[in-house]
Amino acid sequence: METKRIQSFISQNAIYIVLVLLIVAIAIYDPSFLGLNPLRDVLNQSSTRIIIALGVAFILITGGTDLSAGRIVGLTAVVSASMLQVTDYSRRFFPNLGEINFLLPIGLAILVGLIFGLINGVIVAKFKVPPFIATLGTMVAVYGVNSLYFDMDPNNSQPIGGLRRDFTKIFGTGSFGFGGVSIPNIVLIAIIVSIFVWVVFNKTKLGKNMYAIGGNQQAAKVSGINVGRNLIYIYSIAGALYGLAGVLEAARTGGATNNYGNMYELDAIAACVVGGVSTTGGIGTVPGVVTGVLIFTVINYGLTFIGVSPYWQLIIKGSIIVAAVAFDMRKYAAKR
Amino acid sequence: MPQNEYVLEMNNIVKEFPGVKALNQVTLQVRPGSVHALMGENGAGKSTLMKCLFGIYSPDGGEIILEGKPVVIPNSKIALSLGISMIHQELHPVPYRNVMENLWLGRFPTRGFGPIQFIDHRKMAQDTRDLFRGLDIDLSPDTMVHSLSVSKVQSLEIAKAVSFQSRIIVMDEPTSSLTDVEVEQLFRIIRGLREQGVAIIYISHKMEEILRISDEVTIMRDGNKIGTWPAADLTTDLIISKMVGRDLTNRYPEREHVPGEVLLQVKGLTSPLPKSFKDISFDLRRGEILGIGGLVGAQRTELIEALFGLREIESGSIRMNGQQVQIKSPEVAKKHGMALLTEERRVTGIFPVLSVHENAAIANIDKYQRPYLLLNEKKKRVDVDAMVEKLRTKTPSTKELIMNLSGGNQQKVLLARWLLTEPEILLLDEPTRGIDVGAKYEIYSIIVELAKQGKSIIMISSEMPELIGMSDRILVMCEGKLTGIVDREQASEEEIMRLAAQH
């Protein structure tokens, strides 16, 4: 009985254990990894990824998938950056634009993300196109939209740079002191978003409906849930989160090009599945997704920290994705 | 060497799960060339015992003896190679492949030179025909499987079992979705197998069938074996009393309800589909149980799904309390105080990966919505769990995943889901299908209690005694048309059958 309890504890908390083991293993190699700075770097690098992964998690839990996430991040990064250049910058996207309140472009970028999420939702819910295909379509089209915008006169596909310091500081590189420790602003933003998403998942009707739709779409319909409307809401929220992530990417890097966000969706999906989100729907938690992202960042950052070749990192990353899902499958297969 | 009396002996099988003893020293002895019925309520341990036989579970104690030799069965592949096959309740063929490819899947006959081997389609077709002829199955080897009826797929599965040279074939609820004619065909195949010396372990809840087809009956209750008897010595009542461990003088609860004024008026309801329901008119009173009888294909499910907004209506009207209503979706139906318990519990009822609590709460979330979109989780938990408990659902806790519950208990959770919405009209589609006798009685009691509270109930059932025992009136359909409404007093199985087969 006792061994069974331990087994069940391990299988319930596998990803958290994996994260701890990873950190311990790296720390054994180089104890300085446990210092404040590496830890802060890991969190810093995870922040936008967490926001994107949480957006993707919404959709995975409904039993769908979202391939357009990365491209929407790219588009919204360009949109926000294009309006936030310093006025004396030599090559401005909008040469005659004055210094506007930075909340305006941020709001606009989030709105753009939301609109493309909404389009995904409508294609999936109203035209019954499988999410894989629907979001594959928007993924391609959004890149087109982004490139057209990016190629407009006078920018002509030049990287957008010279972003305002107030903007990059607050939403990118800045930090604040908390009990003598300096915490990056974007870490705080990621925490706020995680709490927001956790509340939506667990405390709202939309969250309950999301789990139900992913758990059994037909049963959800019979239970009186308007499946289509809920899907549209969910895709829209996910889109808005990508929009926010795009803004943060622009702020963090101090610029944007139309290639921003490329393939981010695959990292996000990988983090979700490693974090225990089921690709068949109905299962997934916010702590799981956050841990999934952290695992990948720790691999990236930690292995670089101790000098492992980036090519080996890719092999380890790939193995973890497959192993995590294989382990999860076993867990549910055993329960049947 | 003397012929063994039993082809299979499972002696003193013990299987424990955390907190429960699923099998307590259960012994099952099966003679070759016989049909051995295995009976018991859901949760009695029948499936667990069969899973031990098929290598899905490894028993914690006891021994399995096959034709006199003790065997260990670690997985289903070994079980198959030892001559043990199982026809599951739900069949999973490869839909877009033909009959013979499904039959010989994984062991196609080949021909060729050395390592270069091609599939020998001609031999495969011939082997298939030979096999079908021996079993008297009427199926063409190259029909696509997705176009076959459930019963044909089942015949295919049986043929597959035979092709593995199985000496023991386990059939789990084989008739649950068959029509009467198809049941006869199945029985013919079973009798043929019996003559060939194959032993059949037959799991079913249908007493009449068991008594007709089986030679011996083993009854289980709560993980224990109650006994084995020749079928000839048993009656339906005897079996029931042994299964539930008490005498069932009444199979249906005492009725205390009196139908009141008319609540629902349906007039000339017609589906846009040509073969579906046509021109259906009836009234439903408050506190009335209206049964709907008919054969498979009578379009009964389609009718009540249309009432619930799941299917389109071409013409006709629905009035509630005299007001005409347009029910375009289940959402609207719910607002009008309707509830639907669907026939296919697993397909359209439960959310397998969600907890009992979430499953029960889902239709009534609105009630717990506070300002700012947040839910009153505490109140929701109290209300929902109280309802689940009130229906005497057996579950370790309401946090348990619903997929780990037995069919009867899943059905209670679904009933709880709808009762929480405080419906006026409950549409119940085969509410006791695949549920054991004890749980059936509890579900009947709940239905009668609801009628007493003034709720109106429409209940589809394919079990005649249930229809007659429960309904105030019985509406009978045949091929989409209403062929008659029979009052409780005049209802008899013959009368309903006559109306159900009128066209």
Q: Of residues B134 and A104, which shows the higher confidence score?
A: A104
Q: Which pLDDT score is estimated for B263?
A: 95
Residue with tokens 């009186």: A224
For residue A232, pLDDT beyond 80? yes
A263-267, B130-134, B150-154: least confident range: B150-154
Q: Is residue A254 part of a domain?
A: yes
Exposed / middle / buried, residue A99 (Cβ in 10 Å: 0-12, 13-18, 19+):
exposed
- Average pLDDT, integer, range B204-215: 87
Q: Of residues B245 and B396, which shows the higher confidence score?
A: B396
Would you call B348 and A209 a contact, using CB atoms and an 8 Å cutoff?
A: no
Chain B, 377-436: which have a CB under 8 Å from a chain A CB?
A: 377, 401, 403-404, 417, 421
Domain with A145, as residue range(s), is: 47-261
Cα distance between residue A261 and residue A109, in whole Å: 14
Q: What is the least distance, in Å, from the CA of B123 to any CA of chain A?
A: 37
Q: Is residue A132 part of a domain?
A: yes
Mean pLDDT score across all residues of chain B: 89
B396 forms beta bridges with: none
Q: What is the least distance, in Å, from the CA of B172 to any CA of chain A?
A: 17
Name every chain A residue with its beta carbon within 8 A of the beta carbon of B384: none
Confidence of residue A336 (pLDDT cuts 50, 70, 90): very low
Render pLDDT for A95-125 as a digit per residue (tens, 0 to 9).
Answer: 988 889 999 999 999 999 999 999 999 999 9
Q: Which of B91, B503, B90 is nearest to B299 (CA)?
A: B503
- Average pLDDT, integer, range B386-402: 90
Render pLDDT for A26-77 as a digit per residue (tens, 0 to 9).
Answer: 999 889 988 888 889 999 999 999 999 999 999 999 999 999 999 999 999 9
Residue B358 at interface with chain A, using a CB cutoff of 8 Å: yes
Backbone angles phi, psi at A285, to 5 degrees: -130, 160
For residue A206, pLDDT beyond 80? yes
Would you call B362 and A205 a contact, using CB atoms and an 8 Å cutoff?
A: no
Residue A205 at interface with chain B, using a CB cutoff of 8 Å: yes
Q: Is residue A320 part of a domain?
A: no
- Average pLDDT, integer, range B332-341: 95
Residue A331 at interface with chain B, using a CB cutoff of 8 Å: no
Residue B86 at interface with chain A, using a CB cutoff of 8 Å: no
Name every chain B residue with its beta carbon within 8 A of the beta carbon of A209: 362, 365
Q: At what angle do helices B437-452 and B236-244 cross, to 10 degrees?
A: 90
Name every chain B residue with its beta carbon within 8 A of the beta carbon of A223: 330, 362-363, 417
Would you call B373 and A278 a contact, using CB atoms and an 8 Å cutoff?
A: no
Q: Which pLDDT score is estimated for B289?
A: 96
Q: Is residue A277 part of a domain?
A: no
Q: What is the least distance, in Å, from the CA of B418 to any CA of chain A?
A: 8
Show the CA angle centred on residue A320, arms to residues A318 and A326, nearest 5°: 110
For residue B247, pLDDT beyond 60? no
Residue with tokens 């341990």: B45
Partner residue facing A335 (CB), from B350, B354, B401: B401
- Average pLDDT, integer, range B350-362: 94
Q: Which of B414, B292, B429 is nearest to B360 (CA)?
A: B414
Three-class DSSP category at B249: coil
Q: Which pLDDT score is estimated for A334?
A: 47
Q: Is residue A41 part of a domain?
A: no
Confidence of residue B252 (pLDDT cuts 50, 70, 90): confident
Residue A68 at interface with chain B, using a CB cutoff of 8 Å: no
Q: Which pLDDT score is estimated for B255?
A: 82
Name every chain B residue with its beta carbon within 8 A of the beta carbon of A278: 353
The residue of chain B with its CA nearest to that of A204 is: B374
Render pLDDT for B264-314 as a digit per residue (tens, 0 to 9).
Answer: 999 999 999 988 999 999 999 999 999 999 877 789 999 999 999 999 999
Q: Is residue A190 part of a domain?
A: yes
Exposed / middle / buried, residue B170 (Cβ in 10 Å: 0-12, 13-18, 19+):
buried
What sign does the CA torsion over B311, B314, B320, B323 have? positive
DSSP state letters, B326-353: ---SHHHHHHTTEEEE-S-IIIII--TT
The residue of chain A with its CA nearest to that of B365 is: A205
A264-273, A291-300, B364-373, B440-449: least confident range: B364-373
Q: What is the least distance, in Å, from the CA of A239 to any CA of chain B?
A: 20
% of chain B surpassing 70 pLDDT: 96
Confidence of residue B91 (pLDDT cuts 50, 70, 90): confident
Residue B353 at interface with chain A, using a CB cutoff of 8 Å: yes
- Average pLDDT, integer, range B141-149: 88
Would you call B330 and A336 a contact, using CB atoms and an 8 Å cutoff?
A: no
Q: Is the pTM of this model over 0.95?
A: no
Residue B301 at interface with chain A, using a CB cutoff of 8 Å: no
% of chain B surpassing 90 pLDDT: 53
Contact between residue B423 and residue B455 where contact means Cβ atoms under 8 Å apart: yes
The residue of chain B with its CA nearest to that of A224 is: B331
Q: Which pLDDT score is estimated for A35?
A: 87
The residue of chain B with its CA nearest to that of A229 is: B331
Backbone angles phi, psi at B9, to 5 degrees: -125, 120
Q: Which pLDDT score is estimated for B126?
A: 93
Residue A103 at interface with chain B, using a CB cutoff of 8 Å: no
Would you call A215 and B354 a contact, using CB atoms and an 8 Å cutoff?
A: yes
Q: Which residues, other chains included, contact B475 with Cβ-Cβ below 8 Å and sequence gap of 6+?
A: B282, B290, B291, B292, B293, B482, B484, B485
Render pLDDT for B478-499 as a digit per residue (tens, 0 to 9).
Answer: 889 999 999 988 888 778 878 8
Neighbours of B476 (CB within 10 A): 27
Q: Is residue A315 part of a domain?
A: no
Q: Is residue A335 part of a domain?
A: no
Partner residue facing A212 (CB), from B331, B351, B366: B351
Confidence of residue B248 (pLDDT cuts 50, 70, 90): low
Interface test with B, best of A206, A222, A332 (most B CBs within 10 A): A222
Cα distance between residue B422 and residue B104, in whole Å: 52
Residue B362 DSSP code: G
State how many domains chain A has.
Answer: 1
Cα distance between residue A266 and residue B164, in whole Å: 45
Q: What is the least distance, in Å, from the CA of B363 to any CA of chain A?
A: 5
Name every chain B residue with its beta carbon within 8 A of the beta carbon of A12: none
Interface test with A, best of B307, B310, B353 (most A CBs within 10 A): B353
Residue B352 at interface with chain A, using a CB cutoff of 8 Å: yes
Q: Which pLDDT score is estimated for B3?
A: 62
Q: Which pLDDT score is estimated for B250?
A: 63
Neighbours of B460 (CB within 10 A): 25
Q: Which pLDDT score is estimated for A59?
A: 98
Q: Which pLDDT score is estimated for B318?
A: 95
Neighbours of B448 (CB within 10 A): 18
